[in-house]
Amino acid sequence: MTDNVIAAVVNVDIEGPRISRHVYGHFAEHLGRCIYGGFYVGEDSDIPNEGGIRLDVVEALRALDIPNLRWPGGCFADEYHWMDGIGPKDERPVMVNTHWGGVEENNHFGTHEFMALCELLGTEPYISGNVGSGTVREMSEWVEYLTRDGDSPMARLRKANGRQEPWKVRFWGLGNETWGCGGNMTAEHYAQEARRYGTYCRDYGDNKLYKIAAGASDFNYDWTEQLMKQLGHLGCQRVNSSFYHALSVHYYTIAGTWANKGSATVFDTDEYYATMVKAARTDELLTGHSNVMDCYDPHKTVGLVLDEWGTWWDVEPGTNPGFLYQQNTLRDALVASVHFDIFHRHADRLVMANIAQTLNVLQAMILTDPDSKALVLTPTYHVFQMNKGHQDAASLRVDVRGGLPTREVGDATLETVSVSASRKDGRVLLSLSNLDADAAADVEIELRGGALSEVESRILTAGALQDHNTPESPESVAPRAHNGFSIEGDTLRVHLPAHSFVTVTGTVSGSTRGR
Ligand code: AHR
């Protein structure tokens, strides 16, 4: 196939908005084998663990520098009663996890276990409170239990359960999908509830909550508008609301229909391109919600949080349909890399994003085998790892001369090359994805405002889009050094084989200017 040739310009000395590290956030729900049999194997397990938390999982995730972990759901959050998950394990009540497989939940993984997991991972907790079936008092007391120092009923209870010092908790979700599993509310009703719940989630001592209202599904801009209206501003005022500081949105990449989402590993090229069109629509999604927010908050003080994203396929044959266990191929990796380019371009408004989910559920980083207990890193894991230098970096604009190569997919036009760039600590990082299933691409980037040295490149690709990792073949899709690049004067040339993800990083000379 003939290569696509792309010419681009990057001004390495003109820094755009900072890419929040929290767009590389994670999500762990009481769903299938994400918590039980995933993160948490119990203290009696023969798998090495600390307080029941699986240590090889911790080690693998620490290598990603994961910035935050959302818990306990998802839909589960709105039927979770936190007091059931504290105190002696054998006295904790059992409940039914009605959303996910109707299995019994013994509450052995609760608040203390989650906070211990965050400490092991070196990550910030993002707790989703229960609005759907909970009470304002219940949520308010959870905040007090976690974060209040000194003497108070909940602080005493926490101490009685073995934790003297309060924890630091910044990210706090006011419900989840309140338009659906979180209470089936209207936007108008929920916006009032968010103000009410937000009122009673207090800041104790120097712990400052960053409250996130449960936002829209997909392209429901009306939901976003209702939440923005409730903050009481329109036009050029600065929004300074203590009810909530951000709104969320959920968007999954589904190539087929909800009834028939398709297999994670058995798909043809048409399905592959349909998937990429859906993934690329994340740009339209973030632009649409940001535009609505701009009308009420032009100074961008309210954050946008995409706290569930990723691919959603039919479950693997023979597994529990309620457990959402799916394999992960090179296609999933390219979905992730395209999302990150979009996130970097929306750094002015997007403060956080959370892939669904970290372990054994949906587009996971890690899959564990229930029989052999083997741990496998997925192709998606490697994208997070290769891209971690973008966390908290200044975004750099990538201007393309003459446009990117495209392909018609049904009624849609897909750009088959995606690029983003950032600068941090004197290093520039470029991420480049070639989505074309068959043709290679060559990208020629004119670097203005500074020269690159000590350049290194890595590539993630495979013989087929369907390739994936298993305990028998854990490195079928794994990054390796890429020598398909050259640097001559101010021009960086990068060769992108068909269906590949490439990163290029180098030390940059010269100082910077803000945009
Ligand atoms: O991630 C799986 C589920 O998808 C979550 O529980 C819910 O919020 C969403 O519908």
Q: Positive or negative, the Cα torsion across 213, 218, 223, 224?
A: positive
Provide mean pLDDT across the span 69-86: 98
**Residue of the CA atom closest to atom 2 of ligand 1:** 74
Give the DSSP per-residue string, 68-126.
Answer: EEEES-SGGGGG--GGGGSS-GGGSPPEEETTTTTEEE---S-HHHHHHHHHHHT-EEE
Contact 445, 457 (CB under 8 A): no
- Top mutation candidate among 100, 174, 177 for ligand 1, by most atoms within 8 Å of CB: 177
- pLDDT tens profile 419-470: 999 999 999 999 999 999 999 999 999 999 999 999 999 999 999 999 999 9
- pLDDT tens profile 502-511: 999 999 987 7
Above 70 in pLDDT, residue 235? no
What mean pLDDT is reported for the chain? 96
Q: Which residues, judged by CB distance below 6 Å to any ligand atom, belong to the binding site of ligand 1?
A: 29, 73-75, 176-177, 308, 356-357, 362
Indicate the angle between helix axes 153-160 and 136-147, nearest 10 degrees.
Answer: 60
Above 60 in pLDDT, residue 1? no
- Residues annotated as catalytic (active site), given as ranges: 177, 308
- Top mutation candidate among 251, 308, 312 for ligand 1, by most atoms within 8 Å of CB: 308
Above 60 in pLDDT, residue 2? no
Above 90 in pLDDT, residue 240? no
Residue 80 C-beta-side C-alpha neighbours within 13 Å = 29
User: Residue 241's closest CA among 226, 228, 222, 255?
Assistant: 228
Q: Is the peptide bond preceding residue 426 cis, with omega within 30 degrees of 0?
A: no
